[in-house]
Every structure is written in structure tokens, then in C-alpha cells.
Amino acid sequence: MPKTIVWFRQDLRLQDNPALIKAAARGQIIPIYIWDPSQTRKIGAASKWWLHHSLQALSKSFSDINISLILRSGHPEQVLTDLVQETGADGLFWNRCYEPDLIARDQKIKSHFKDQGLQVESFNGSLCIEPWEVLNGQGLPYKVYSPFWRAALQKIHFPNQDKTSELIGHDGKLESDQLEDWQFLPKINWDKDFYEHWQPGEEGAWQKFEAFLENGLSQYKAGRDFPDLKATSFLSPHLHFGEISLPMIWRRLDMLSDIKPELQTNIAKFKSELGWREFNHHLIYHFPETVDQPFRGAFEAFPWGEDDSHLTAWQQGMTGYPFVDAGMRELWHTGTMHNRVRMVVASFLTKHLLIHWKEGEKWFWDTLLDADLANNIAGWQWAAGSGADAAPYFRIFNPTAQGQKFDPDGAYIRRWVPELKNLPTKYLYEPSVAPKSILEEAGIKMGTDYPMPIVDHKMARERALSAYQQIKK
């Protein structure tokens, strides 16, 4: 019977997994996850937490059908070579990754094992459409989201879901590392609140999706910008680790659209946000240099500043701007941050503080559970003004006005900046201007209980615009 190694990566699920479906149709499967400590861009601490629990869930799913998920560490080519020799496997299947370093690695591995006579195949297991399938009329990649998504929508088509054949595991005992030995979980207890908010793994992904369909979808378009509302899907870490399939999501949304026409506007908006994820992967595939270089070349000359005290204040949610601080504290406690607030805190770092977007990207990479290279890079470059389809640089978010508009009752700020919870809403967004009597009544001493603003908004805005004028010349 043919034996196929299924190399799991960012596709930690059994349902609608193309590589697994095709391998199962051949015969025996040998599922493996490889931890490569030498990988160029090491995953962040929060992502390691998620990966530990996701692998634990995937291992249990296999164990429930009497198959062992093999865990091994080392360089993938060597690990796979050893496994081929141990098992006599004649096939190697995986679902594609789109990060530049991983593409180069995978191409080398595919070529090597094809030369050894193995059947080697890769599949799309994480995107709606491959990056090379959406090009403009000149055959070039899109650089603006709207025309990209219009073109992509014309090509996205998901036929009926392929059924997975009965999964038959390898009939011999194979060595496997112990997940605990990889030490992905933190030694200190900074992750304790993650367990309240998240259940990594395929089951947790479906629970989040079902909860969104029931409670969030009907208010998605109007409510998605308000961080205190549960109007978003909370699917981003599940999507990054491939615990839920985009075709299954898409088909479910189409079915709902037919049954409940009143949801069509919200469904279209949600799909368009999935479209940004597609666009970000399109960009990193076609413009791999943007991982560490500005998409807009003029920004090479931008006069970024350095201020460690300002960077630390931003990281710790102690800038003196409550809406910004609420977002940074939400990130630390939950491993995520509402998308509207992500834009505000990123704008604040790059424009109010003139700190390089790479510093923000680095912090998000380490602290976000959904840290995804394509999304992280594109999001930060967009916020800094250097990215594709970025808003005009002069659009500098006013963090006070953003809080007033998108947290009108102050519930989000009061949750994450509890030292301000007794302030009247009128002063909640800018406590530094509150009368002394109001502050005393709320039990707040500015500079002691809560910091004064680390920069003045008007001055910071003018400084940012002046810096931009330098590169425009």
C-alpha cells in the first residue's frame, strides 16, 4: 500500500485539509509536524503558546482515530529524509505557505524529494485563491486593494467539498518528540488570561465561527469598528494556524445568504475583510522585499526617531492617551487587539512618536496570538504610510477623537484602563484636561495614578507632517 507523509504546517486541522484528503486517497498516511529552531524568523512568544495547544488538539484528533501525530525538531529536509528511510514512504504532501523564506525552502525540498523518486505535491490549504491567479490587465500584481478584490471575487469558486477517505495510519511504531520538551509555554504566568478568551484547535475554531454567525454577523458592518461590541469573528489566530478552512467558511456564508437575505450586506462586508487577508498574502508573495523594506521607496529616507522611553510607554499602555493604552493592555492580557484600535495604536507609534514601524511590527509579532507575517507587515506599512494602498500620510488619527467616536460610552477604556473607570465620560478620553476637582472625586492623581500624555497631539501631528515633507522633496 502506498505511504504518504503529510507534513503539517499552518493547516492544523483534519476537516477539509487538501493535503490530507489527497494523501488518504493514496493509502497509509504518516502525519508529522516539524519544529525548526533554525528558522530565519522565529515565531513570537504568544504564537508559541497557541501552537502548543493547537498541536495538542491536533494530536488528540489523530489519537481518537488511532493514528499518531509525529513531532520532530530539526531542519525539515533532514527530518523528512530520515522519516522516508524509516517508513519507506513513497509520497510527500503538504499545504503551501506563502512567506518568502518558506517558499524558497519548500521549493528546494520539493525538488530534492522528486529527484529521490517520491510523489511530491503541495496544495492550497489556507487562501481563497492563489496569489499568482489574480493579476491586472497587464499581467502584473495589483497594488491597490479594491481592484484586486473585485478581480479576485470573479475567480473565487469552491466546488463541493472533497470527502476525506478513511484515514489509515502507518503500521509501525515511530519515534516522536514530546510536545512539552519543546518548551513553548512561558515559564512565568503571563499567559493566564489567554485561557479565558481562547481555545486553540479545530474545535475552538468552529465554536468561534458559530458564535460569530449567531451573535456577531447581523451587526458586523455597523458594529465592527466598535471595540466594546462583540461584532467581529475572533477567527484570525484560527485562520493563521489553519484550524478552520476558508472554503467551508465561504460555503457556509453563501448558504446563509440564500436563507437570510437580510444578512447579505453583512456577509459581503465580512468577505471583504477576508479579502484584505488575501491581498496581504498577494503582496508578500509578489513583493517579498517588503518584509523589511518600505513598499513605497521614498520612505527609505523618512527621518524616523528613536526614543526608548516612548517605545516602552507605548508597549506598556502608559502613553497618557486612554484609547491607545486600552488597546495595548488588551493585547497584553488577551493576545489580540480589536482591528480599529490596531490602526490607532499603530498610527500613534509611527506618527505621534515617529518610531519606525519595524519596532511596532516586532512587538506585535511577539505578543499577538494571530501574528501572521503577511498581515503584520502589510498592516504596519499601511499605518506608517509606506505600504500598498496606504491612506494619505496626512491622515493622522487623533487618539482622543477616535476614542470618543468608537467607544462612545467609554466601556472599552474602563475595562482595560480601570484606574480611570470613575471619571465622567466627558473627561475619560483626555483625563489630563479634567478639572482638579473632577480628578479628585474620581480618585485620580495625574502623573501618579495615570500618566500625563507623553506627547502633545497638535505638536506631534505638525512634527509628523514636517517629516513627511522632507521625503516628498
Grid-cell match 479594491, residue found:
146
Stretch (H or E) spanning 29: strand 28-35
Angle of CA points 93, 96, 97, to nearest 5°? 140
Stretch (H or E) spanning 399: helix 399-406
Distance CA 387, CA 44 (A): 23
What positions carry a catalytic annotation? 273, 276, 304, 339, 357, 380
Q: Give the CA distances from residue 386 to residues 64, 78, 293, 397, in Å, rounded to whole numbers and listed in that order.
A: 49, 39, 9, 16
* C-alpha closest to that of 322 among 177, 469, 427, 180: 427
Q: Where do the H-state alpha helices sit in 348-372?
A: 357-367
Pairing of strands 168-169, 119-123: unpaired
| Contacts of 373 by beta carbon, 8 Å cutoff, 6+ apart | 41, 99, 284, 291
Tell me which amino acid residue 94 is. W
Q: Give the CA distances from residue 133 to residues 31, 287, 335, 392, in Å, rounded to whole numbers and listed in that order.
A: 29, 15, 33, 29
Q: CB–CB of 59/177 below 8 Å?
A: no
Cell numbers given for 72: 520532530
CA atoms within 13 A on the CB side of 106: 19
| Contacts of 421 by beta carbon, 8 Å cutoff, 6+ apart | 414
